[in-house]
Structure 1
């Protein structure tokens, strides 16, 4: 949330990169024309079925497709994936266009505005179902649907999104620093109440870590990520959203909603937070440096943060769930938010032959060893597909993968709201709350009024 919402989340910090086009010539083999293979074929010795297959291959018309990639941090990986796919499918030309890091939408809009028809587009789930609801096509009958539990469905139950990236967020922690304070091996899921989180922070301070938390307060982080977690109080988060829309959920008296802000107060406090004296600021980079070096131990973020941490130190990192109250039996206290944060949709405005080529590409990602390798090993993206044998190696991705395998996750709450609006409309109000410019009751009224409208 990636992208990002969730996705690498340094929104606005990196200028939109130049469009990346994958030249077909890089694949070799004359893919632009489909090639005339007559000279290399035996004239009369091939069996009839093989000869018919060759004739069909020669008759195939070249197809060009355009794919937009919303995860700018894996631009080069997408370019190589296009080359690998084209090498195996010489009648299909793939052109990839990548957004800047953290910007999952602009590249599609710009391509469309320029008159280009994007064949496969990468969107955040909420954007796919709302802003781009007139783009997607029905993928319900595709073979890969049976290999995943994370396919994006619309209100009619149709599969409309291919889950490209599984990501998660929680309290990222530096294992070396925390284990030193804990006096040995540390189980992050042992922090299943707010009081236990306080106890951990006190141990960290006693071990010499003056400020255990480096709490960054960018709008996307405090709003469409942190502040949406309360909708997981229902088994189906959409039920809570419906209550908000109907005006039947009183946030000010809701224990779960208040609980998450009680924990936010702790994270942003002057006692534990490195930025407690001035909690609002551009702290993304500094927070990662602080936790990467071990000057602080904890920050709120997702597995996309690993590159920033890794750039500082080679330490190991993991996730602590965000506790909502002091009841260890509350299932929310022992889970990390995780889910598909980027989906690929096939544009129904594309020509039928382009859509068929796009479907072939999606199947390649799921069933071909090179496609599987591209997603997990090359891109370090957690695969949503059961048949992919590869596992991510970066520690934050691995921690999310382990949490999923052990049923320690809850839905990725950002996927159930209009992330862009929560970022730009509700985010500033959450920031006002953090610095005391409005009350929690004011914030509750603001969110309820937003849904009423």
Structure 2
């Protein structure tokens, strides 16, 4: 998704794209907030936060209704890049949204009282990515899986190493430096094009240290309690040692002036093969493919020089959009929404909608399809090879990291703030959290 998402998971719109979809038979196409339609169908409203799949979302609702004639679906989508919250907008207008798409952190923060318990749903046996609410109950259906790490241009890297390349062989910082030197020796002046937007340096890169615990919340709880010392933590320091390498003038195209609006230029550089590596996620492929037809993959971000360290051998992967059923919907509406979730997981048309039509990486191991996007395919392969760790951005308040903490991280990259000062800024932020 590029800069418009990620980073706050923008999922709404100024002009709501509404698809009022009637089921088969003689049902009226008129929709309202009633739990049932005039002819007795269960009426549900479902919202989609990925505006780029609005057409596919509407078609999925039609296909679902064709197989469930007793359910009428009003499928609404948000426009890409709009910051007006669709769920809030519809709720304020008096409409009850039966099921809403939202970011994973929402069900432990803003919408912690919205969802119902989905822990007993059958589809949990097909995925490890169900998202828990503040009470530890699974309330989020993992609609889309995404991942991030070091995106690399395969052709450039393979030329530099003189043959086939295993991205997971780069499992120490020294091996990463050795690879960067080989890329330079092959004729690429700057192997890295490191863009420094707030969401990238903060929500994504700088949260990776949370994965040193089996549950990232463990570290967050310690930070809130004031018992976790960042400055003395080897993992936290290790990620910034690696960031120093990636953003250095020796390897980074923007090293002399590391802060700037480099997102588009970085993608052009790596897409054309003028550089080889950028830190980003599978959403970057939309920009890369516009430049080049070359292949791309993911490398882990090494945190130290211990090849056996799990953090050096995995990429961050997890749900970035979840579907949550409204506890204020009627039992009949909740049951209908659960049927829609089952349809996505178990029905061939639902599986096809998710992966082939929407080009979403499925969280469910029973889905036989694989996205054609090579970065998405690389994530699927990493999941199957057990080479993934949690998507660390899901455990923080992304708005706060992007707005409050990112400026300190950017100052650190520009050498206008020390690492000790950065550690203090993050610790102070968490000590002030309720």
After TM superposition, the score normalised by the length of structure 1 is 0.89
Q: Paired residue for 2:337, among 331, 344, 358?
A: 358
**Residues 168 and 400 in structure 1, CA contact (< 8 A), matched pair in contact too:** yes
Structure 2 CA distance for partners of 1:17 and 1:372, relative to 1, 3 Å: farther
Partner of 1:52: none
Partner of 2:87: 108
CA distance in 2, matches of 1:103, 1:389: 33
Find the structure with the greater CA-based Rg: 1
1:99 counterpart SS class: strand
Partner of 2:277: 298
Partner of 1:174: 153
**Residues 192 and 277 in structure 2, CA contact (< 8 A), matched pair in contact too:** yes
Q: Paired residue for 1:88, among 67, 75, 78?
A: 67
- Alpha-carbon shift at residue 383 of structure 1 (Å): 1.1
- Which stretch has the larger CA shift, 92-101 or 338-347? 92-101
- Alpha-carbon shift at residue 16 of structure 1 (Å): 4.4
Could you list the runs of 4 or more consecutive aligned residues of structure 1 that deviate by over 6 angstroms after TM superposition? 1-4
Structure 2 CA distance for partners of 1:3 and 1:66, relative to 1, 3 Å: farther
2:258 counterpart SS class: coil
For 1:260-317, what per-residue CA distance to the aligned partner results, in whole angstroms no more than 9, with x for missing partners?
0111111111111111122112221221111111111111111111111111111111
Number of residue pairs matched by the alignment: 426
CA distance in 1, matches of 2:38, 2:87: 32
Structure 2 CA distance for partners of 1:5 and 1:427, relative to 1, 3 Å: farther
**Which structure 1 residue ranges, 5 or more long, are not aligned?**
35-57
CA distance in 1, matches of 2:364, 2:243: 34
- Asked if 1:20 is matched to 2:17, the reply is yes
CA distance in 1, matches of 2:119, 2:308: 38
CA distance in 1, matches of 2:141, 2:330: 19
Q: Paired residue for 2:259, among 275, 280, 304?
A: 280
CA distance in 1, matches of 2:26, 2:3: 37
For 1:169-207, what per-residue CA distance to the aligned partner results, in whole angstroms no more than 9, with x for missing partners?
000001011111111101101111111111111111111
RMSD: 2.4
For 1:40-84, what per-residue CA distance to the aligned partner results, in whole angstroms no more than 9, with x for missing partners?
xxxxxxxxxxxxxxxxxx997123222221222222211211121
Partner of 1:66: 45
**Residues 71 and 103 in structure 1, CA contact (< 8 A), matched pair in contact too:** no
Partner of 1:205: 184
Matches within 5 A, 1:10-409: 16=13, 18-24=15-21, 29-32=25-28, 61-101=40-80, 106-409=85-388
CA distance in 2, matches of 1:195, 1:452: 35
**Residues 12 and 82 in structure 2, CA contact (< 8 A), matched pair in contact too:** no
CA distance in 2, matches of 1:270, 1:311: 27
Structure 2 CA distance for partners of 1:104 and 1:381, relative to 1, 3 Å: farther
After TM superposition, the score normalised by the length of structure 2 is 0.92
CA distance in 1, matches of 2:29, 2:152: 53
Structure 2 CA distance for partners of 1:66 and 1:32, relative to 1, 3 Å: same
- Which stretch has the larger CA shift, 286-295 or 218-227? 286-295
Structure 2 CA distance for partners of 1:5 and 1:233, relative to 1, 3 Å: farther
**Residues 2 and 342 in structure 1, CA contact (< 8 A), matched pair in contact too:** no
**Residues 31 and 91 in structure 1, CA contact (< 8 A), matched pair in contact too:** no
